[in-house]
Amino acid sequence: MKHRSSPLRGAGHTLIELMIALALGLVVTTGAISLYRSQRAAFGRADDAIRIRDAGLTALTVIGQQVQMAGFIPADAPQAQQRPTVFGCSAARPTGADDNPVCEALTGRSDGIAIRYVGDSVSTWPSATGQTTDCLGQAVSTANGLVGGNGVLVVNRFYAKASSSTGEPELYCDGNGKSGSAQPLVEGIERLRVKYWLTGAQSGVDASALASAQWANVVAVDLCVLVRGAPQGRNSRYVDCDGVSALTTDSRAREAFWRRVAIRNNEGAAT
């Protein structure tokens, strides 16, 4: 009598085969998770780089537009703009009276710059009541100095510092529409560096190198902003506003952006 084998004997799997299948599945799962994490990290770094670039270019545009306005007066103004129209501080921010600013040190060692011009409803965005506005959109009162027609003296001061509420670095502006009430304009700006070009000079100099009488001879400004990004889990190298290569220590990417702006309304600029 022939022995018949069970039809289920060939359909089973050995323990070794099961272990191999589990190992292969674990390798595939680990690879998929690793790929997902690397892609997510790459996307996060790319997104952070875009935010850094947007912040840097926005800050340079905002300050640069104001520098170009320095010394401007409307056509119907009966007298010339009081000079100097630009004043700066090294590792400090301009404070004090509009016609006699002084420097107040900043812990973040950001430079500060004050810009003066005569604004009207055409050269600035008008307020809801049609008044001249400062860098924060605040109406500038004629009490700050009426200069012919409807022109008033506008003074805007820019600097960078860490927010007292969030701790994040930001670009601030203090406009004379409401002096002493500076507000942040661009987040991520860790430092502002400014150098000034005098008539006939071969290079720009820091504000600390200028004497009081030399501010009237400034014809161009070099602007640089150092922008800090979000934590990325690794340190990276960057070049700061002084051209020095450095390594981050807080896992945040940084990038510096530069721009040179001529003071178009300065008579010395033409020469």
Span 255-266, pLDDT tens digits: 999 999 999 887
Tokens for 127, please give them: 């307020």
Residue 11 lies in a domain: no
Residue 2 lies in a domain: no
> How does the average pLDDT of the chain come out, rounded?
86
The pLDDT tens digits of the residues spanning 116-149 come to 998 877 788 888 888 889 999 999 887 655 555 5
DSSP conformation class of 174: E
Total number of domains in the chain:
1
The predicted model scores a pTM of 0.81
What residues make up the domain containing 80? 39-270
Residue 76 lies in a domain: yes
Average pLDDT over residues 198-211: 93
Residue 62 lies in a domain: yes
Q: Is the peptide bond before 94 cis (omega within 30 degrees of 0)?
A: no
Place of tokens 């990325």: 232
Q: Tell me how many degrees the CA angle 98-104-109 measures, rounded to the nearest 5.
A: 125
Predicted local confidence at residue 233, as pLDDT = 81
Residue 25 lies in a domain: no
Lay out the sheet containing 189-198: strands in order across. Answer: 189-198, 218-231, 252-262
Residue 22 lies in a domain: no
Predicted local confidence at residue 24, as pLDDT = 82
Confidence label for 150 from pLDDT (cuts 50, 70 and 90): low
Residue 17 lies in a domain: no
Cβ-contact 62, 222 below 8 angstroms:
no
Cα(31)–Cα(44) distance, integer angstroms: 20
Confidence label for 65 from pLDDT (cuts 50, 70 and 90): very high
CB atoms within 10 A of CB 69: 21
Residue 15 lies in a domain: no
Predicted local confidence at residue 83, as pLDDT = 64
Tokens for 125, please give them: 């965005």
Cβ-contact 226, 193 below 8 angstroms:
yes
Q: Pairing mode, if any, of strands 86-89 and 245-247?
A: unpaired
